[in-house]
């Protein structure tokens, strides 16, 4: 199986549990891997047959920028559900990073994997 990926997709949103976090927008970074068989679109050189990473990115940008979650865990789960349900992806690995959230660390966050990873 092939992997379609989106790396370091940066999206501003309201995220966090502290009062000061609820009053500002913070930039989150998403790294996404999605299982997809690219043999059919590659054979026909047809974008309509692909897992279009631009469409996935636009959908997540729209959703995340309008969201307002307390936990990155909740946001990560919702984003993976969108990818699996709306784009028909059987396996997704998503890393959601919150840069600058902990002093001394480049970023913190979660990495989740949902579905069965194909061989």
| Residue pLDDT, tens place only, 55-71 | 999 999 999 999 999 99
| Residue pLDDT, tens place only, 4-48 | 999 999 999 999 999 999 999 999 999 999 999 999 999 999 999
Measured in residues, the chain has a length of 119
- Catalytic-role residue among 54, 58, 95, 98: 98
Q: Is 95 designated active site?
A: no
Distance (Å) of CA 75 to CA 65, 92, 108: 11, 14, 14
pLDDT of residue 68: 96
Does 101 score more than 90 pLDDT? Answer: no
Distance CA 12, CA 105 (A): 19
Q: Are strands 26-36 and 91-99 parallel, antiparallel or unpaired?
A: antiparallel
| Residue pLDDT, tens place only, 69-94 | 999 999 999 999 999 999 999 999 99
| Nearest by Cα to 24 from 15, 32, 33, 35 | 15
Grouping H, G, I as helix, E, B as strand and the rest as coil, residue 91 is strand
pLDDT of residue 63: 98
10 Å CB burial of residue 79 (0-12, 13-18, 19+) is buried
Fold entry, domain 2-115: GTP Cyclohydrolase I, domain 2 (3.30.1130)
Q: Domain coordinates of the chain in residue numbers?
A: 2-115
Name which residue leads in pLDDT, 110 or 101. 110
């Amino acid at each position: 199986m092939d992997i379609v990926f989106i790396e370091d997709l940066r999206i501003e949103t309201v995220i966090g549990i502290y009062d000061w976090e609820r009053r500002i927008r913070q930039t989150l970074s998403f790294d996404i891997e999605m299982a997809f068989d690219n043999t059919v679109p590659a054979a026909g050189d047809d974008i309509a047959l692909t897992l279009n990473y631009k469409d996935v990115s636009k959908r997540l940008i729209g959703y995340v920028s309008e969201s307002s979650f307390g936990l990155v865990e909740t946001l990560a789960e919702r984003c993976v559900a969108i990818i699996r349900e709306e784009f028909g992806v059987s396996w997704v690995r998503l890393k959601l990073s919150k840069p600058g959230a902990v002093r001394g660390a480049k970023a913190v966050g979660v990495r989740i994997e949902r579905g069965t990873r194909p061989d």
